[in-house]
Amino acid sequence: MVRTKNEAVSMAAGRRRAERRKMNMWCWLFMVPAVGFYLLFQGYPILCSIQYSLLDWSGMTANAAYVGLENYRELMGDGLFWNAFANSFVYMAMIVPLELAVSLFLAYMLNNEKLKARSVYRTMYFIPVITTASVVGIIMIFLLGVQGPVNHALTALHLLGSPVNFLGNAKYALPTLVVISLWKDCGTYMIYWLAGLQGVSKDVYEAATIDGADRRQTFFHVVLPLIAPTGGIIAILCAINSLKVFDIVKTMTEGGPYYATDVIATYVYRNAFSSEIGMPRLGYASAAALFFGGAVILIGLVLNTVKDRLAKSM
Amino acid sequence: MRKIKTFATHALLAGIGFIWIYPFLWMISASFKSQPEFFENRLGLVPKAPTVDNIIRIWEKAHFGTYFMNTIIVTLFSVLLVLVMTMMAGYAMGRFRFWGRNLCMAVFLGSIAIPLVSTIIPTYEVVKSMNLVGTKLGLVLSQAGGAHVIFLLLFTSFFESVPKELEEASKIDGCNYPRTFFHVMMPLCKPVATTVVIMETIWAWNAFMLPLVLTLNNPLSRTLAVGLYAFKGENTVDWTGIAAGGTIAVIPVILLFVFMQKHFVEGIAGAVKS
């Protein structure tokens, strides 16, 4: 039997189509575990959150009542919600610049091949990152307490007249949390910066040295502009992570004193899971969590646009 | 002049380093101090009469032995699950332009911004509907849930970099998709897999919000991170016990990190690059 050219072509196309179908099928089989877990513990919960946020619900299935947008309306008039919302953003505004500056300083110091023992320093700066935040928080309560070593040392050195209750004073509590988080997470951002700094070629440093620039001038006039794009990404990651803060706040202050350090995560936790305030309010807490989640995503998008604009104008 | 400068740099870096690790040194030292010595010698790092009473007390009486085992089991199995699923998905996304690939990637990437607090309530309900609240299995599954964006990116970019010839050769040898994956690709990705295992071990070990919520009704299923928090709530005065619990909770991850830090640091750096 003689096949025409057309038949041969269409058979080849058919084979290719079959091959593609097989490839698609296998790829999706490989995706099933990841996608399945994602849908179950991330995708589905997001959809559920939307539904819960429209309910007046204490967790017992029997007494869930549909209340429409009532939760959101109540939220808008809830001073404690706005207090937590504002605290989250104040916390972010305080920690992002500090964290970026300190971690960049450490990274720049360590990004020097002639420096001996730099891997030892890197390990030291990184240790807080890998330790359990809740454990760190609890230990810090004592270290920073009125009777703790920090106050002891500061008064002994006459830097403080009398011991300061860092975590019990509404004025100092949030800044203290910022300092502790700064210390805790600095290593991560230092590694990010190091990755960026390693992209700057040695010739750049050499050229700057030949031109008579010292290390500080080289940094501000040559290196900083070069790593600014990486810095944009690092800043966004830092901002998003700081808005998610929970472990440190929960273990160190529980949001107190008098809600001075209450962030959205502790606010939602208290409303949904804690028995301190009577019946849990899952619907109301979901509305708060969703509203905040939306705000975080919005901030992420805005920052990303700002970063792209800046990159273009440079 | 040059020497002075180098010395100053080292003094500065070492000084910062000491401040950075002082809390841990203090905690470890406090867990070997007796109660009276603890309050007498608040700043010092060397216990005069070292004792293991605190460790034994908290291990046996405060259930830290149980918490320790719980943490190990939860960490071990969630790491295994995460490793398998991110490796498989990374392989598919790194090697093939299959239907829906870009959508999957976009959805995973977009999840970076979603805070855990926005999904924790329904996640609790999902685990509850499986009847797994307060069990280790519930903790393992929910800990393994989520997007694991960094690990997906690491595996995807690794598999993208593997030369095409390898796959074609194995195809000619008659290997089908799963065989190619298991016999050709899996052995290749050991370095990335090590990084993922170490990072996820540390994250799972340190997880707090999920285990806190999921063990509210069953204290004996607590992990170390949650156990220490609960212990502090019940025994505010037993600071040497708290320090001992903290030491038990952080020593394993510190050791793991010190010996395997290369992989961890490379993973973090690789994530920001891609």
* Helix or strand (DSSP H, E) at A56: strand A55-56
The answer to whether the Cβ–Cβ distance between B249 and A247 falls below 8 Å is: no
pLDDT band with cut points at 50, 70 and 90 for residue B76: very high
CA-based nearest residue to B115, from A281, A50, A241, A247: A241
Query: Tell me, what's the pLDDT at B182?
Result: 82
Show the tokens assigned to A146.
Answer: 């009125």
CB-based contact (8 Å) between B230 and chain A? no
pLDDT single digits (tens) B152-168? 888 888 888 888 777 77
> Chain A, 40-79: which have a CB under 8 Å from a chain B CB?
40-46, 48-49, 52
Any idea of the CA torsion for A21, A26, A29, A35, to the nearest 10 degrees? -80
Q: Residue A114's closest CA among B3, B11, B259, B264?
A: B3
Q: Enumerate the residues of chain A whose CB falls inside 8 A of the CB of residue B23.
A: 128, 136, 139-140, 143
What local confidence, expressed as pLDDT, does residue A61 receive?
65
Question: Going residue by residue through chain A (314 aa), what tens digit of pLDDT does each one get?
Answer: 556 677 777 888 888 888 888 888 888 888 889 889 888 888 888 888 888 888 877 776 667 777 777 788 888 888 888 999 999 999 999 999 999 999 999 998 888 777 788 888 888 888 898 888 888 888 888 888 877 778 888 888 877 777 788 888 888 889 999 999 999 999 889 988 888 888 788 888 888 888 887 878 888 888 888 888 888 888 888 988 898 888 889 888 887 788 888 898 888 888 888 766 667 788 888 888 888 888 888 888 888 888 788 777 76
A252 HSE (CA, 13 A, CB side)? 34
Peptide bond into A128 cis (omega under 30): no
Classify residue A253 by its DSSP letter.
T
Residues contacting B13, CB < 8 A, separation 6+:
A109, A110, A121
A165: left (phi over 0), alpha (psi -120 to 50) or beta: beta
Under 8 Å CB pairs connecting chains A and B tally to 271
What is the nearest CA distance from A83 to chain B, expressed in angstroms?
A: 17
The CB density around residue A173, as the number of other CB atoms within 10 Å, is 22
In this predicted model, what pLDDT tens digit does every residue of B105-131 receive, in sequence order?
888 887 777 777 778 888 888 888 888
Say if CB B149 and CB B109 are below 8 A apart.
Answer: yes
Say if residue A257 is preceded by a cis peptide, omega within 30 of 0: yes
Per-residue model confidence (pLDDT) at position A88? 92
| A254 dihedral zone (left: phi>0; alpha: psi -120 to 50; beta) | left
* Nearest Cα residue to A238 out of A93, A141, A116: A93
Mutation target for B interface from A105, A111, A135: give the one with most B CBs within 10 A: A135
Radius of gyration of chain A (CA): 27
Average pLDDT for B198-207 = 88
**Chain B interface, mutation test: which of A24, A30, A85, A87, most B Cβ atoms within 10 Å?**
A30
pLDDT of B173 higher than 60: yes
> Could you tell me how many residues make up chain B?
274
Q: Do A34 and B226 touch (CB under 8 A)?
A: no
pLDDT digits (tens, 9 = 90+) for B3-24: 888 888 888 888 889 989 888 8
From the centroid of its chain, how far is CA B197? 9
Percentage of the residues of chain B whose pLDDT score is greater than 70: 96
User: Who has greater pLDDT, A279 or B219?
Assistant: B219
Instruction: Show the tokens assigned to A154.
Output: 């500061």
The whole-angstrom distance between residue A169's C-alpha and the CA centroid of its chain comes to: 26
Distance from CA of A112 to the nearest CA of B (A): 11
User: Could you tell me the two tokens for B226?
Assistant: 């949650």
Is pLDDT larger for residue B48 or for residue B207? B207
CATH of domain A77-313: 1.10.3720.10
CB B67 within 8 A of CB B78: no
How many angstroms separate the CA atoms of A208 and A223, rounded? 10
B27 touches chain A (CB under 8 A): yes
In chain A the beta strands, taken as DSSP E runs, fall at 55-56, 65-66
Q: What is the pLDDT of residue B41?
A: 72
Nearest chain B Cα distance for residue A75, angstroms: 15
3-state helix, strand, coil in chain A (%, to 5): 75, 0, 25
B203 touches B116 (CB < 8 A)? no
Sign of the four-CA dihedral B36, B40, B41, B46: negative
Contact state of A191 with B265 under an 8 Å Cβ cutoff: yes
**Which residues numbered 163-182 in B keep a CB inside 8 Å of some CB on A?**
177-178, 181
Compute, in degrees rounded to 10, the torsion defined by CA atoms B139, B140, B144, B146. Answer: -20
Give the pLDDT confidence score for residue A314 in this predicted structure: 62
pLDDT for B137 beyond 70:
yes
Give residue B79's pLDDT: 93
A142 → chain B, closest CA residue = B239
Least Cα distance to A174 among A84, A50, A285 occurs for: A84
The stretch B190-198 carries a mean pLDDT of 86
d(CA B108, CA B86): 11
Give dist(CA A107, CA A193) in Å, integer.
6
For residue B272, the model assigns a pLDDT of: 65
- Residues B242-258 have pLDDT tens digits of 888 889 888 998 888 88
| Cα B134 to Cα B100: distance, rounded to the nearest angstrom | 36
> Nearest CA to CA, how far is B163 from chain A (Å)?
18
Number of residues that make up chain A = 314
**Nearest beta carbon to residue A130 from set B123, B202, B232:** B202
ipTM, two decimals: 0.83
- Phi and psi at residue A66, in whole multiples of 5°? -75, 125
A259 min Cα distance to partner chain B (Å): 18
**Type of residue numbered A26:** W
Domain extents in chain A: 5-52, 77-313
Buried b (16+ CB within 10 A) or exposed e, B35-55: eebbeebbeeeebeeeeeebb
Preferred mutation among A37, A114, A126 to probe B, highest tally of B CBs within 10 A: A37
State whether the Cα torsion B111-B112-B115-B116 is positive or negative. positive
| CATH number of the structural domain B2-273 | 1.10.3720.10
Distance of residue B99 Cα from the nearest chain A Cα, in angstroms: 6
How far, in Å, CA of B126 to CA of A303, rounded? 33
Q: Measured between CB atoms, which of B16, B39, B208 is closest to A247?
A: B208
Helix, strand, or coil here: B108?
helix
Enumerate the domain spans of chain B.
2-273
For tokens 């990190």, the residue is B257
Element (H, E) at A234: helix A224-243
Flag whether pLDDT at B271 surpasses 70.
no
Would you state the structure tokens that stand for residue B171, as one six-digit string? 């195809």
